[in-house]
Amino acid sequence: MSDLPLKDPFPVDPIADGEPRPGKVRNPIGWSTIMLAALVAVSAGLVYRRDGVSGLTETLFHDMSLFGGILPRVLAGCLLGAFTAELLPHDKVSKSLGPKSGLKGLLIATAFGAILPGGPFTAYPVASALLAVGADFGATIAMVVSWTLIGYGRAVAWELPIMGTDFTLWRIVISLPLPLIAGAFGRFVYGRLDRDRPR
Amino acid sequence: MSASLLIDIILWASVAALGFMAWQRGRPVLVTSVREGTMDFIHIVPRIALGVIGSGYIAAIIPAEFIIGALGPSSGWLGVLTAVVAGAATPGGPVIGFSICAVALKAGGGTPQVLAYVVAWALFAFQRLVLWEIPFMPAKFVWFRAAVSLPLPFIAAAIAMAVGKP
């Protein structure tokens, strides 16, 4: 984990070539990948013991087709994130979504998360871009939580057909205040942590 | 199926719109961001291959009956707590969590408990955190986000208990 202070302003030069965006981590193999690989290996072993080779291959083919379907969307998400980082004006974002943006900033972030198209392949690259151009942890948390709980992508494609309209709408209405609560709580705690940190 | 097609159309239309805006700022802006986005994509693909192709195996060994049994209507706050832990342990991906919920509701599960399970699964599914969130976001942010979201499924269950069933 890098100790780059994410909130510090940095010069924005959209045409700076070859420079990775600040706050950006590109490490395809980390401890989390290794843990995930171990978890997958153990699960695959258990499936093999229970269902034999046919169980292994059946799941593999099903998930390969899922993977093939997801790939273009991942590319779209990465492009959205990159465009967002280039296009959003740093000063305006830090004003409207920065640490001093208040309840209004959290509301903007919540609304943004709710209307953001796509799945995790869009939400996280765009959230990362927001952090890089001056949004604080609180607003970004509100945005991620709002995308997770209120966003229509997963609700329309998966929750409605499986859970039905009544449950889905009921769940979304109950979830409405949650991004604001998480964002405000996050901003409060992070503000304290940040102030206490020796400089 | 049409819903997922619609989402694809909205997604690529947004990419095209932002790409056009970048192009208006000048060709170098467009070229730089397309290159950045493509590099992100190339770096992320191995992890996503592992996670998506592997999640089927994790899903296959999830003790669904146990989870469904734990979400009974008389299970109270202990049931909510169990739901939160089970939700975090259920692998991500769009289908598994909802399927377990649908069966739990049909089997007479309590709605606050089922709601807590969905919310916890959406917020903390460990496999989704590791597969999607960590590669794209600073790790410090991800853990902080998960920590401050911890009360949310409990708050959702409390609201559900107050307002009643759908």
pLDDT of residue B153: 96
Residues A67, A89: Cα–Cα separation, whole Å:
34
CB neighbourhood size of B43 (10 A): 16
Which residue's structure tokens are 């409060």? Answer: A188
**Inter-chain CB proximity B61 and A128 less than 8 Å:** no
pLDDT of residue A27: 55
pLDDT of residue A26: 55
Q: Mutating which of A36, A66, A194 best tests the B interface, going by the most B Cβ atoms within 10 A?
A: A36
Share of chain A above pLDDT 70, in %: 83
Residues of B in contact with A25 (CB under 8 A): 135, 138-139
**Inter-chain CB proximity A6 and B137 less than 8 Å:** no
Select from B8, B138, B148 the Cβ nearest to the Cβ of A23. Answer: B138
DSSP assignment of A32-92 equals: HHHHHHHHHHHHHHHHHHHHHHHHHHHHHHHHHHHHHHHHHHHHHHHHHHHHHHHHS-HHH
Total tally of structural domains belonging to chain A? 1
pLDDT of residue A23: 43
Residues B42, B107: Cα–Cα separation, whole Å:
44
Residues A70, A77: Cα–Cα separation, whole Å:
11
Structure tokens at B153: 């499924």
Q: How far is B78 from chain A (nearest CA, A)?
A: 20
pLDDT of residue A4: 40
Residues B163, B166: Cα–Cα separation, whole Å:
9
The yes-or-no verdict on residue A11 having pLDDT over 70 is no
Q: Taking chain B (166 residues) in consecutive chunks of 10 residues, what is each chunk's mean pLDDT?
A: 74 92 93 92 85 81 80 86 90 78 85 94 87 87 94 96 84
Burial A35-57 (b: 16+ CB within 10 A, else e): ebeebbeebbeebeeeeeeebbe
Confidence band, pLDDT 50/70/90 cuts, at residue A198:
low
Residue closest to B147 by CA, chosen among A145, A66, A172: A145
Residue A26 counted as domain residue: no
Structure tokens at A150: 């209120």
Confidence band, pLDDT 50/70/90 cuts, at residue A28:
low
| Domain around A127 | 74-196
pLDDT tens across A72-130, in order? 888 988 998 899 888 888 888 888 999 999 999 999 999 999 988 777 888 899 999 99
pLDDT of residue B11: 84
Residue A53 counted as domain residue: no
pLDDT of residue A1: 39
- Single pTM value for the model: 0.81
Chain pair A-B, CB pairs under 8 angstroms: 270
pLDDT tens across A44-63, in order? 999 999 888 888 898 888 88
Residues B115, B111: Cα–Cα separation, whole Å:
6
pLDDT of residue B3: 66
